[in-house]
Amino acid sequence: GAGVSQSPSNKVTEKGKDVELRCDPISGHTALYWYRQSLGQGLEFLIYFQGNSAPDKSGLPSDRFSAERTGGSVSTLTIQRTQQEDSAVYLCASSRQAQMNTEAFFGQGTRLTVV
């Protein structure tokens, strides 16, 4: 299991329900990112975790969105009271931040559809 793993790969939910998206980063990677990507569009930064530092939450679009990272490893992105505009692919990435030249490794994403 060398890559970033995201689950579920697809999620269909009813408007108003809460959803949790999971990301298992590569072992030893201290940095973890969440992005949102609408159909055919670019990456929208959501949140960034780096080691023990306070997370950078500047990209979260509303207070319905939250994320946590337990034990410096697995992260969960939670969307409360989902809306149709939340439908998108949610991508997680991790990197070994101790080195400046390290790139981010991405998971396959979770496609969220709110109906």
Q: Which residues bind another protein (CB under 8 A)?
A: 31, 33, 35, 40-43, 45, 48, 50-51, 53, 56, 89, 91, 93, 95, 97-98, 100-101, 103-104, 106, 108-109
Place of tokens 């969105």: 65
Minimal distance in Å, beta carbon 113 to another protein?
A: 15
Q: How far apart are the first and last CA of the chain?
A: 33
Minimal distance in Å, beta carbon 100 to another protein?
A: 5
Strand, helix or coil for residue 33: strand
Minimal distance in Å, beta carbon 98 to another protein?
A: 6
- AA letter at 55: P
DSSP assigned state of 25? P
